């Protein structure tokens, strides 16, 4: 890996600067954050006690009240 | 790699883990919710089926109850009609009762009136009884006097009969004396007779009587008859009398035992073909 890094312009020992990968990471992070937020809201709607990560029990589904 | 890249990759990794956790939890919950939803759907279907069955049963029950309601309505109508009839009958009976009470009052008044009438009649009857008692007493007195008079009359009648018997005896003695003197003189003196015990024909007033009984003397075989005339009628012993029936001569009889009011005679001659019977006419002479 370092061999490839030595050939790539980014592999030289110089101060890294934000590049496309940074942008992609930023975009991925943004979208992941957005997806996490959406899933958080959706999970809160179907999770037990309004918690997105709490699991419902079979036969004892507890949904939060609508409008909450 | 830039540090921002690393940071953002780290953040992205963390977010990925969080996201995966959320997705897994969400998927599990969704699955459970879907399962529960299916159970609820099944239960709902079962409940709906039960509801449909109950609805059908309720419909049947409703129709049955409707029919019962109709029947009860008809019965109610019938009962109302009966009630109306009973009301009419009650009114009729009430009128009849009032009429009967009125008649009862009238009858009671009439009974009271009849009671007063009865009392008046009892008073009248008492007065009539007293009057009748007085009349009966007077009648008894009158009858007693009549009996006394009858007794007196009987006594006088007995005396008269005795005197009459004495008179007849004197007459017979006189006639016997005349016969005795005439038998010595001529047989045409009017008495056809010989000795004193021979029969004779009476020439005085015609004597008439009836045969009361006919018997045959067992010792002598002669026919004896009982005459309804005796010495009171001027019949005497050995007097010859004649029996006739209608205008037919029956027999001759001679008195053998005369009594005051009857006599016993002996049949001496009987017409051929005839017999002496009770009821035949006996006369002293045939005119």
pLDDT for residue A8 is more than 60: no
Contact between chains at B22 and A40 (C-beta distance less than 8 A): yes
For residue A56, what is the nearest residue in chain B, using CA coordinates? B29
Contact between chains at A22 and B2 (C-beta distance less than 8 A): yes
Contact between chains at A53 and B3 (C-beta distance less than 8 A): no
The Cα of B38 is separated from the nearest Cα of chain A by a number of Å equal to: 11
User: What mean pLDDT do residues A26-43 have?
Assistant: 89
Diameter of chain B by CA atoms? 239
Contacts with A27 from chain B: Cβ below 8 Å? none
Tell how strand B248-258 and strand B281-283 pair up.
Answer: unpaired
**Measured distance CA(B57)–CA(B249) in Å, rounded:** 132
What's the confidence (pLDDT) of residue B117?
A: 96
Contacts with B10 from chain A: Cβ below 8 Å? none
The Cα of B3 is separated from the nearest Cα of chain A by a number of Å equal to: 8
Q: What is the ipTM of this complex?
A: 0.71
The Cα of A45 is separated from the nearest Cα of chain B by a number of Å equal to: 9
Q: What is the DSSP string of B162-176?
A: HHHHHHHHHHHHHHH
Contact between chains at A25 and B23 (C-beta distance less than 8 A): no
**Measured distance CA(B114)–CA(B283) in Å, rounded:** 72
**Measured distance CA(B234)–CA(B205) in Å, rounded:** 9
pLDDT for residue A12 is more than 50: yes
**Measured distance CA(A50)–CA(A64) in Å, rounded:** 6
User: What mean pLDDT do residues A12-34 have?
Assistant: 82
Element (H, E) at B268: strand B263-270
Contact between chains at B26 and A42 (C-beta distance less than 8 A): yes
Mean pLDDT by 10 residues, chain B (287 residues): 84 88 89 88 94 95 96 97 97 97 97 96 96 96 94 91 85 80 56 56 88 91 92 89 90 91 91 90 86
What domains appear along chain B, each with residue ranges and CATH number?
A: 197-283 (2.40.10)
What's the confidence (pLDDT) of residue B193?
A: 44
What's the confidence (pLDDT) of residue B187?
A: 47
**Nearest alpha-carbon partner for B282 in B198, B188, B214, B194:** B214
HEC letters along B52-108: HHHHHHHHHHHHHHHHHHHHHHHHHHHHHHHHHHHHHHHHHHHHHHHHHHHHHHHHH
**Nearest alpha-carbon partner for B197 in B252, B251, B255:** B255
Contact between chains at B12 and A25 (C-beta distance less than 8 A): yes
**Nearest alpha-carbon partner for A45 in B20, B36, B26:** B26
What's the confidence (pLDDT) of residue B119?
A: 96
For residue B40, what is the nearest residue in chain A, using CA coordinates? A59
Instruction: Give the number of other CB atoms < 10 A from CB of residue B171.
Output: 13
Contact between chains at A28 and B12 (C-beta distance less than 8 A): yes
Contact between chains at A54 and B25 (C-beta distance less than 8 A): yes
B118 vs A22, more confident = B118
What's the confidence (pLDDT) of residue B65?
A: 96
Inter-chain CB pairs, A–B, below 8 Å: 87
Contacts with A33 from chain B: Cβ below 8 Å? 11, 15
CA distances from A43 to A31, A62, B11, B200 (A): 17, 13, 21, 189
Contact call for residues B1 and A23 (beta carbons, < 8 A): no
């Amino acid at each position: 890996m370092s061999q490839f890094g030595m050939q790539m312009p980014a592999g030289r020992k110089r101060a890294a600067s934000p590049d496309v990968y940074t942008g992609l990471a930023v975009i991925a992070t943004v979208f992941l954050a957005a997806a996490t937020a959406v899933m958080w809201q959706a999970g809160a709607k179907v999770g037990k006690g309004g918690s997105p990560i709490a699991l419902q029990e079979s036969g004892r589904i507890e949904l939060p009240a609508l409008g909450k | 790699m830039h540090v921002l890249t690393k940071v953002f990759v780290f953040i992205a990794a963390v977010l990925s883990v969080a996201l995966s956790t959320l997705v897994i939890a969400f998927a599990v919950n969704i699955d459970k919710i879907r399962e529960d939803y299916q159970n609820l759907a099944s239960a709902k279907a079962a409940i709906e089926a039960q509801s449909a069955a109950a609805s059908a049963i309720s419909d049947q029950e409703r129709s049955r109850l409707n029919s019962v309601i109709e029947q009860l309505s008809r019965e109610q109508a019938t009962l109302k009609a009966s009630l109306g009839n009973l009301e009419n009958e009650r009114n009729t009976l009430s009128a009849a009762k009032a009429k009967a009470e009125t008649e009862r009052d009238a009858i009671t008044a009439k009974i009271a009136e009849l009671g007063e009438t009865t009392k008046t009649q009892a008073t009248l009857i008492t007065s009539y009884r007293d009057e009748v008692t007085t009349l009966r007493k007077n009648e008894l007195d009158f009858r007693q006097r009549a009996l006394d008079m009858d007794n007196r009359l009987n006594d006088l009648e007995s005396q008269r009969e005795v005197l009459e018997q004495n008179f007849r005896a004197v007459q017979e003695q006189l006639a016997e004396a005349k016969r005795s003197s005439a038998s010595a003189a001529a047989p045409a003196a009017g008495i056809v007779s010989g000795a004193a015990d021979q029969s004779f024909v009476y020439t005085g007033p015609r004597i008439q009587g009836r045969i009361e009984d006919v018997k045959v003397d067992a010792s002598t075989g002669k026919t004896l008859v009982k005459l309804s005339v005796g010495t009171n009628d001027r019949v005497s012993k050995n007097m010859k009398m004649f029996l006739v029936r209608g205008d037919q001569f029956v027999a001759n009889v001679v008195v053998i035992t005369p009594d005051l009011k009857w006599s016993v005679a002996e049949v001496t001659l009987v017409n051929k073909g005839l017999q002496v019977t009770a009821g035949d006419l006996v006369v002293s002479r045939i005119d």
